[in-house]
Structure 1
Amino acid sequence: MAEQITNTILMIRPVAFRMNEETAVNNYFQEDLAIKNSEINTKAQAEFDAFVKKLRAVGVNVIVEHDDLKMDTPDSIFPNNWVSFHANGTVGLYPMFAENRRRERREEVIDRLESEGFYIEGYMDYSSAEDEGYFLEGTGSLLLDRVNNIAYCALSARADEDLVIEFCEDFDCMPVIFTANQTVEGKRLPIYHTNVMMALAENFAVICLDTIDDKQEKKNVISHLKNSGKEIIKISEAQMHQFAGNMLQVKGSENKYMVMSLAAHKSLNNDQIKAIEKHCEILSSDLETIETCGGGSARCMMAEVFLPKS
């Protein structure tokens, strides 16, 4: 039986974190902080370390790999965009929109998982699509319902429809494709990653339905979520901008947790918190610097490991 959530998470500790100028062109969540990059990185490291400590304290198996300073990869803290690890032993490698993010795909990260006792059967490598100007940024773009074999994807400059369909053919799942928009200076523009407007847990989904402007597409998403037994917990666009859609459910040693940033947690109202806590506990951590400069939050920082043990 496929599992929706895992106890093992890969995280990359940053060494050169800053606002990535190459991703800012279509990540409207990013903001520049008026402090030195070295200071931004130091703050991000402190937030990262505190977050890892909280996850480990509840029994989540966090594998921390360090970034390589020579690579100059400001977004390496978000590994779920370039790699995914599947229960059949497959590793997915993905084409990245920003050139400096392509350097994040490092063999030593994969080697580390093998050294931790995980078995890799083979690779599904889509990264050559970069050469043609097509992108699909891993589980940032693809929200996988692993139990019901559905891949939800909001199309954007970082999520190409043909690649979504190719992925679904390779991994034997059904695509649910739509467009999600946010308001930027009065215009409706595509949200860069699906996982900032939607999170899938075992029995529920947190989703900003207001971002799906097309009524038919919205209906289709709701119908698939309901038919697969997910309780729908709606969030507003304002809450989405506090990263309330960027959550991930994980297994601890005793309990299950919906993991999110402190900003996301604070943005939720009592009814939303109760709805989540019906299913699992909430674990939150302060990620303010990472969110502000990186335009990503807790979920983006965690690459789930479903690989079998060798």
Structure 2
Amino acid sequence: MAIPSRRKERRPDAIEMLKRDYRVQDVIDYSGMEQDRLYLEGTGAMVLDHVERVAYVCRSTRADPVLLERFCTHFNFEPMVFDAVDAAGRAIYHTNVLMCIGTEYVLAGLGMIPDADERAEVRERLESTGRTVIDVTEAQIGDFAGNAIELLGADGPVLALSARALRALTDEQRATLERFVTLLPLDVPTIKLAGSSVRCMLAGIHLIPRTR
């Protein structure tokens, strides 16, 4: 983590819970690299396609290329790295702000990738998976429409997103999403004060449960 205060959020007990309830072969810890000012801020800096094994990453100090390459080698991901900026030209440092990958769809602020070749390359890679790509505008990204996460519910997949993000989507975008998931809007006004939303509050578990 680039910000020292965030390093206090590490939870060894959460790691122990995962080892107890799921099949965990290895625990790989990059935190020692912080002393060398090398950072890779997990699923904030990376949006992972667990099916196609692609890691989509905005270039920033929060995603050091050396650590990213190491992560991709350890976990068998293909890195897909690109620049993304807001209207003022400021770099987007967390990829999960502008991209959400679901089972059958993608929400992506592709218009925030300024280089046309990179933008086309990212779109092509997303579309090659067979998913429906839903373009999200910069204004919608500002309302956290890209900061969402697909979860497995009791009756099928749900898309957890903020109520503000849902309001920002067009009727057409909502209808497209509802072909694939149940929309689950959540009121999270406090975390928005820090520029975050629902995706920043959740971590997916992609491990095999232990049988008991």
TM-score by length of 2: 0.95
Of 172, 181, 197, the match for 2:85: 181
Q: Compute the displacement of 1:128 (Å).
A: 1.6
DSSP-derived class of the 2:89 partner: strand
Runs of 4+ residues deviating >6 angstroms: none
Of 36, 39, 51, the match for 1:135: 39
RCO higher in structure (CA 8 A, sep ≥6): 1
Which residue of the partner structure matches residue 63 of structure 2? 159
Which residue of the partner structure matches residue 296 of structure 1? 196
Which residue of the partner structure matches residue 261 of structure 1? 162
TM-score by length of 1: 0.66
Which structure 2 residue ranges, 5 or more long, are not aligned? Answer: none
Of 28, 36, 50, the match for 1:124: 28
Code of the residue aligned with 1:110 in structure 2: it is I
Q: Compute the displacement of 1:114 (Å).
A: 3.9
Which residue of the partner structure matches residue 275 of structure 1? 176
Which structure 1 residue ranges, 5 or more long, are not aligned? Answer: 1-95
Percent identity (aligned): 34
Measured in 2, the distance between the counterparts of 1:122 and 1:158 equals: 24
Of 79, 87, 111, the match for 2:16: 111
Count of residue pairs brought into register by the alignment: 210
Alignment of 1:226-265 (within 5 A): 226-265=127-166
Which residue of the partner structure matches residue 309 of structure 1? 209
Code of the residue aligned with 2:27 in structure 1: it is Y
User: How far does the alpha carbon of each residue in 1:220-277 deviate from its partner, in whole angstroms, 9 at most, with x for none?
Assistant: 1001001111111011111101100001111111121111000000111101101111
Alignment of 1:7-156 (within 5 A): 96-115=1-20, 117-156=21-60
User: How far does the alpha carbon of each residue in 1:43-102 deviate from its partner, in whole angstroms, 9 at most, with x for none?
Assistant: xxxxxxxxxxxxxxxxxxxxxxxxxxxxxxxxxxxxxxxxxxxxxxxxxxxxx0100111
RMSD: 1.2
